[in-house]
Amino acid sequence: MDKKYIATPIKTKEILQKYHFTFKKSLGQNFLIDVNVLKNIIGHAGIDKTTGTMEIGPGIGALTEQLAIHSDKVVAFEIDGRLLPILDDTLSDYDNIRIVHQDILKADVHDVIKENFQENQPIHIVANLPYYITTPILMKLLRERLPVESITVMIQKEVADRMAAQPNTKSYGSLTIAIQYYTEAKVVMNVPKTVFMPQPNVDSSILQLVTRSKPPVEVEDEDYFFTLVQASFAQRRKTLRNNLTSHFKGILDKDTINEQLEAIGIDGTRRGESLDMQEFSILANAFYKLQHHN
């Protein structure tokens, strides 16, 4: 039964040879060659025949095929023009797939959703993301507040750990806050290098992000909030007070920063990694008001 699927080593090699396809390092191309891993991704993604799915970087169509089998319609963004004729061929049995030849970072995803899915149809993003560009892609998708219920992606394990981290851990940082501001994040499974062709140098994880209807904290200004969070982690070994002093250099003096921290009850000798999102929102709101209401 599995023989006909794209995601096997034999079938993948066949397709690559037929089209004399060579991997582009610059596009971070690693194709999945294990049907069971794909079925696991599909299982975690919570899709069924009523759902629309979107994919980024379909490659030769291994995951796309499984999405087409299990969901109502698939729209996949592929930047590499060399793959378009291959996808035409490998996915020719399915009439519910649309390939969009566009860079996801430049695409108007809201428009693509409107054109391809029914109004109020549940939509899920499922993808094996190119490692070198995972964070910009996810941040774009989240910041644009797309009408999607979840994003389930195969990414580098270390990055997945950072996105799903808890305070007071090595992985916790500004990326954690940014991702968890928009979604509830969890690592649903780890994946060995051996299920890819070519094998990447890093281990992978499947990360699931379930979109929040609204952020867990209220902030005066989102950009300001994210900037201050980043500043708090600028040098992980430094205290919060020292990082803020560097950040506000020439704008706010040490005494003002200390007074502000005292007023909101956050100890300046703590490190950024010990603050949870609630505390970061209090911190950012206080400094925002200080700077904008004088």
- Residues in contact with 78: Cβ distance below 8 Å, sequence separation at least 6, in sequence order: 57, 58, 59, 84, 87, 99, 100, 101
Q: How far apart are CA 7 and CA 195, in angstroms?
A: 9
Q: How far apart are CA 59 and CA 15, in angstroms?
A: 11
Q: How far apart are CA 12 and CA 7, in angstroms?
A: 6
Distances (CA, A) of 52 to 32, 94, 124, 230, 292: 22, 15, 6, 35, 43
Helices and strands (DSSP H and E) totals, the chain? 12, 9
Q: Known binding site: residues?
A: 30, 32, 57, 78, 103, 128
Two tokens, residue 233: 């982690």
Q: Known binding site for S-adenosyl-L-methionine: residues?
A: 30, 32, 57, 78, 103, 128
Q: How far apart are CA 127 and CA 278, in angstroms?
A: 31
Q: How far apart are CA 67 and CA 41, in angstroms?
A: 10
Contact between 15 and 48 (Cβ < 8 Å): no
98 membership: H or E segment, kind and range: strand 97-100
User: β-strand 196-197 against 150-156: which pairing, if any?
Assistant: unpaired
Two tokens, residue 194: 């051996």
Q: Give the Cβ contact number of residue 210 at 10 Å.
A: 15
Q: How far is CA 165 from the centre of its chain?
A: 14
List the beta bridge partners of residue 23. Answer: none
